[in-house]
Amino acid sequence: MSLTLGNGPLSANPPSAANYRIDGPAHKLLATPFPRRVRGVFADRTVLDTDRGVLVHESNILPRLYVPEEDLDTALLTDTDLSTHCPFKGDASYRSITVGERTAENAVWAYREPLPAAEWLRGYASVYWAALDHWYDEDEEVFGHLRDPFTRVDIRASSRKVVVRAGDQVLAESGRPLVLSENGLPNRYYLPREDVRLDLLSPTDTSTVCPYKGTASYVRTAEIEDVAWIYEQPFVECTAIAGKISFDPGKVTVEVV
């Protein structure tokens, strides 16, 4: 179960079918140790290297890695004038990362005087994921964000009939979808290419990265951009969806019988 998304216990809509209640503010914070070494690299310099990182789980937000200040290369960091306020954590101050002629502005932040409810953030800092060139979980490069240990992906074969329509046009019809369940998200249906009107689709330049599934490429119809996505070479845990097509239910009608 994802703690902070969907109807997880720390989300804004926790489950009502429970014999307990979590007291406290509606917007909740929780820090848990990240169990492995993490490194972040910018311009071929290691900005952070830690085996003491913590994931801060915050209602309706993906977990964020915070690391002890001692695990940052502070020689690469310069204070800036930027300050932001979080009503749950306090006032954040920012630093830029500079290596040679490259600078990542306001890439690092810390709550140096956190609010009492988040006192455990004192001495920790976080780095914007996109600011760095490479991130490593142990020796494996990771993309998108670190995997949340409370999140998982399940893929199951199904015989339910799935019909995809764009207006009156049937784009796909299948009785053998794969159902992919991912914490905090509605089910997605991955269909064999043979059950999809490929003649109505063409590739786009769009690609996205999921830390659980891999890199997705996208296709479009003549009228609808990025109507569906495909993981041609997903991560090992999701090889079942390789080459199959999933349509965006926000752009077309996905009817499941």
What integer pLDDT is reported at residue 1 of this predicted model? 52
Domain assignment present for residue 148? The answer is: no
Q: What is the DSSP string of 201-252?
A: -EEEEEEEEETTTEEEEEEE-SS-TT-EEE-SS--GGGGGGTT-EEE-TTTS
pLDDT reported for residue 151:
81
pLDDT at residue 196 greater than cutoff 80: yes
As given in the structure block, the two tokens for residue 249 are: 């239910």
Is the torsion defined by CA of 122, 120, 56, 92 positive or negative?
negative
C-alpha distance from residue 54 to each of 41, 66, 129, 156, 181 (Å): 18, 5, 15, 32, 26
CATH code: domain of residue 188? 2.170.150.40
Tell me which DSSP letter residue 44 carries.
T
Residue with tokens 């009939």: 161
Mean pLDDT of the chain: 93
Instruction: State the Cα–Cα distance between residues 152 and 89, nearest whole angstrom.
Output: 28
Domain end (from 94, 118, 142) = 142
- Residues 42 and 122 both lie in one domain: yes
DSSP reduced 3-state for 131: helix
Q: Which two tokens stand for residue 193?
A: 């290419």
* Domain span including residue 106: 29-142
- Into how many domains does the chain fold? 2
Give the model confidence (pLDDT) of 218-237 as tens digits. 999 999 999 999 999 999 99
